Structure 1
Amino acid sequence: MSETDTFIDEVSEEVRRDRLYALMRKYGWIAVLLVVLLVGGAAFNEWRKASARAEAQALGDAILAAEEQADPAERAAALAALEVDGDAAAVVAMLAATDGQDGAAALRALADDASIDSLYRDLAQLKLVTAADSGLDNAERRARLEPLAVAGAPFRVLAEEQLALIDIDDGQTDAAIARLQSLLVDDEASGALRRRASQLIVALGGSLETS
């Protein structure tokens, strides 16, 4: 390589370096801003997660403290006094309904409240149907349970069990046995539910054979 070529290369390198420095002076603040935004966003996200965990823990502690009250009325009052919203409000309301004097009415209100998540509405519906003081006749209990027993519903197998009990109460023994036998081979049914189903089938004079 000649001295002329070396000189040209050195000049070209200086020109490129000068251009790079010029670009950094002109646009470098953008890179700095991006770094600040990334670091700040990550810090804010961690703070938000920590705050959510702290709020959830505080709510859990408050619920446990309320549930430790010996008197049902005091438990219901303590739960009702909690300041909650959203899904947590539905959960606390169901817990309070269990202890309150107007539990069935509170459960009915939750079950019929279209503004809350369907999961909690369905749970309130199931608790209402099984409440001793619900005041529901078998026809209304069945009407409230049937939508919970469709495929994919979160409490389907529990609703099926309750429907079998209604069948028994209505004198429809064969229908009850068939429903209970289906639960014996249902993958979503728990071991405890299957044991209850087996006991009922035997008590009704049915067979545990499902094939």
Structure 2
Amino acid sequence: MSDTDSFIDEVTEEVRRDRLYGYVRRYGWIAAIVIVGIVGAAGFNEYRRAQAESNAQALGDAMLAALASNEDDARADALTGVTADTAEGAAILAFMTAGAQSQAGRADDAIQTLQPIAQSPELPLIYRQIATFKSLMLQSETQDADTRRQGFEALAVPGVRMRLLAEEQLALIDIETGNPDAAIARFQSIMDDAEATPGLQRRALQAMVALGGAPEATETAGE
């Protein structure tokens, strides 16, 4: 390469460098804003994650402290005094509180605790379904069979995770209302269902035998 060519290359490189610096001086503020935005968003997301973890840990610690009492009433009252910062946290707290209230013989209080969770549009559907199921269970001695049947039938539909548990309760209502044949048919359906857990299948089998039914052999029934 000649000296002339080297000189031209150097000049060309200097022009490119000057042009680049010119762009930086003219538009560098845009890049700076973008960088600041990216760093700020990452920092904010990290803060939110840390805050959520801190709130969840605080809620867990508060619930554990409330459950430390040996008295059912005291545990229920202590849980009632705990607060949650998120809708999901409030749902979990309500389930714990309703359980303690139920153990203390305060079924009406437990139902009142679950009602807002069952009706909250802010919560995922599964939370509302669990709250509805638990509430119906608590009404077994105070609500008439037809009303409870309607509630469980609304849960015993395809796509609902509580479906088979609701079917089990419907079978028990069949027994309660003097229809053992319908109960046996429901229990057999539970045993034949591929989504039924071994524990649920065993309960269905035991109930069928107690009712004098003859369970049909299935691959899962004997597990």
TM-score by length of 2: 0.83
* 1:182–1:210 contact (8 Å) kept in structure 2: no
131, 135, 145: which is aligned to 2:152? Answer: 145
CA distance in 1, matches of 2:117, 2:150: 13
Matched residue of 2:119: which SS? coil
Displacement after TM superposition at 1:114 (Å): 4.5
For the residues of structure 2 that align with 1:108 and 1:12, how far apart are their CA atoms? 76
1:209 alignment partner, one of 193, 207, 216: 216
Q: Deviations over 1:107-166 (max 9, x none)?
A: 563476344533233222211222266511110110110011110112111101100111
2:198, 2:120 → 1: CA distance? Answer: 33
Between 165-174 and 7-16, report the one with greater CA deviation. Answer: 7-16
Which sits farther off after the overlay, 35-44 or 96-105? 96-105
* Aligned partner of residue 47 in structure 1, secondary structure: helix
1:165 aligns with 2:172: yes
> Are 1:17 and 2:40 counterparts?
no
Q: How many aligned positions are there? A: 211
1:52 aligns with 52
What residue ranges of structure 1 are gaps of 5+ in the alignment? none
AA of the residue aligned to 1:113? Q
User: What percentage of aligned pairs have identical amino acids?
Assistant: 48
Question: SS state of the match for residue 74, structure 1?
Answer: helix
SS in 2 for 1:77: helix
- What SS does the corresponding residue of 2:166 show, helix, strand or coil? helix
The answer to whether the Cα contact below 8 Å between 1:142 and 1:166 also exists between their aligned partners in 2 is yes
1:33-55 Cα distance to aligned partner (Å, 9 max, x none): 33333223222222211111111
Does structure 2 conserve the Cα–Cα contact (< 8 Å) formed by 1:111 and 1:122?
no
CA contact (8 A) 2:118 2:127 kept: no
Q: What's 1:87 paired with?
A: 88
Q: Deviations over 1:69-121 (max 9, x none)?
A: 22222112111111225232233233323333333541563476344533233
Equivalent-residue separation in structure 1 for 2:132 and 2:2 (angstroms): 91
Would you say 1:155 and 2:162 are equivalent positions? yes
Evaluate the alpha carbon distance shift between residue 190 and residue 29 of structure 1 in structure 2; reply closer, same or farther with a 3 A threshold.
same
